[in-house]
Amino acid sequence: MKKENISKADYLAVFLSVLIILPYFICCLFLNYYADDFSMAIEISSISGNSIVRAIKFAYYYYMNWQGCWFSMLIDGFSPLILTGGNTVFLRIVAIVNLILLVFSIYRLVLMLTEIIGERNHKFLCFFSLIFVIFNIGCYKEILYWYTGMAGYSIPFVLYVLIVSEVLRITFLNGNLKYRKVVNLVLIILCTGGVLQVVGMLCYTLLLILIIAFIQKRKTRYVAVCFVLSFVGAIFNAVAPGNYVRHSVIDNTGIHIDQAMVQSLKVIIQELRILTSSISICAMVIIIIVAAKYGHKMQKDFDVKQTIVLSLGIVLLPYVTIFPYQLGYSGSELGDIPNRSMFLLDFSLIISFMILAFVFGAWLSRKTDLRIDTNLILVLSLVLLIMAIDHQMISNAASVRTFHNIRTGYIPEYSRKISEFYDMVDNSDDEEIVFDGFPNEVSYFQSITYDENPDVWTNKALAGYYNKKRIRITYEQ
């Protein structure tokens, strides 16, 4: 077995990656339940049967009456509020595991991509550049710190990335372990039970891999099976009666495909302007181009036609990602799209930048003969990534702001106050709760908000879970 060459730049990249991710792990230690966590717990507790039976019945009910993401609803059906009686330790463990899986899936994808272009030795640098962008351009709190968001978005997304990584390995790197192929097919079935945004990403990505593999005259049987299975799963998800029930509640004038198409393009253009204004995106692209510039495998495998197909195909991924959301909500402005959906859109845009950088770097490798020390260039790229950003942009990076709110005690104190509020509600003998001084929202963390109007659904869900008639709060001044 050939020993991998790990450079000083690789060690630096791993160290910096850990620094970026660490604040998010720490935040997982301060989580509390919120919103749908309580409302779903009430519904689940009213269902007869053991935990497994109740989870299945719950998923079926939602499939028929609210949305087609049956696998996400199945996860929600095992509500930790029911299983643990509201113990937050389990929630925090789930969040940590979720974050580990998210980071691992991204690393796995980078590993496969760098292996395909022949530059596996630079995988840590490419991984760092991707992590730097994803975890700094925004705080995706709804997929990191909220149980319902993890079940609906984060876990299906992790499955999507792992599936794509494995299909790339099997198709382009001749992976042939049968048990892994079977496991991957099972993961596809589960992934198609997630939100339609992730399902759309899965179907489209597998189709793109299938087309490129066919052009390259590779074996396409397995990837074709994967695509067909994902497509059937997507249909099963999309035709769920609950999707149409939910849409009629959001917009009873019907489904507006033309409006969704226009709004999808509009939102992508707006988000592109925001992302491309960040120097971190530019630095990521530089690192990827340099790594691909010295690739050997990709330049041999990809001719002009295949490069065009890949480039055009990957550019459409963000559109495929946001379109299901816009269709379901009859078109939304950028500011109205929830944090969890923006994560999927941003990832699709960032990974598109990454693939295009790989392609451009491979093209440079064919067209130029310039040979210099790649480690030197990659280290300089890292320096550019860190030092060329002015102080204000560094201080506003999501990971830095998150760490600041932890260090100064904002997040721990906020979590403590929320926990004390829940304990007060649980232990009170009063059927009507009036609480003055509820903590204000804290940035870069999952803020838990209730309304001064006790009839708002979040207040009612909390009251129902703790067997109270009404809960009314006022915020700290």
| 473: β partners | 435
Q: What is the pLDDT of residue 391?
A: 46
Task: Tell me what pLDDT residue 191 has.
Answer: 97
Q: How far apart are CA 460 and CA 466, in angstroms?
A: 10
Q: What whole-number distance in Å separates Cα of residue 200 and Cα of residue 325? A: 10
Mean pLDDT of the chain: 87
Q: Is the pTM of this model over 0.85?
A: yes
Max CA distance (Å), the chain:
79
* Phi, psi of 369, rounded to the nearest 5 degrees: -115, 10
Name the least confident of 80-94, 95-109, 243-257. 243-257
pLDDT value of residue 385: 56
Give the pLDDT confidence score for residue 426 in this predicted structure. 94
394 vs 239, higher pLDDT = 239
Indicate if the pLDDT at residue 83 is higher than 60: yes
Angle CA(309)–CA(314)–CA(315) in degrees, nearest 5? 105
Mean per-residue pLDDT for 33-39?
93
Residue position matching structure tokens 């001084």: 437
Q: What is the mean pLDDT of residues 175-196?
A: 92
First to last CA, the chain: 64
Q: Are 88 and 421 in contact (CB under 8 A)?
A: no
pLDDT attached to residue 17: 92
Of 290-304, 398-412, 443-457, give the lowest mean pLDDT range: 290-304
Share of the chain above pLDDT 70, in %: 86
Q: Is the dihedral of CA 455, 458, 460, 466 positive or negative?
A: negative
pLDDT at 358: 77
Q: Is the pLDDT of residue 359 over 90?
A: no
Cα-to-chain-centroid distance, residue 124: 20
Mean pLDDT across the stretch 353-364? 78
* Beta bridge partners of residue 472, listed in sequence order: 434
Paired sense of beta strands 432-438 and 470-475, if any: parallel
More confident: 131 or 158: 158
Q: How confident is the model at residue 390 (pLDDT cuts 50, 70, 90)?
A: very low
pLDDT of 11 > 70? The answer is yes
Residue 305 has pLDDT above 80, yes or no: no
Return the pLDDT at 125.
80
Q: Which two tokens stand for residue 44?
A: 């689940």
**Residue 462 has what pLDDT?**
95
**301-327 mean pLDDT:** 84
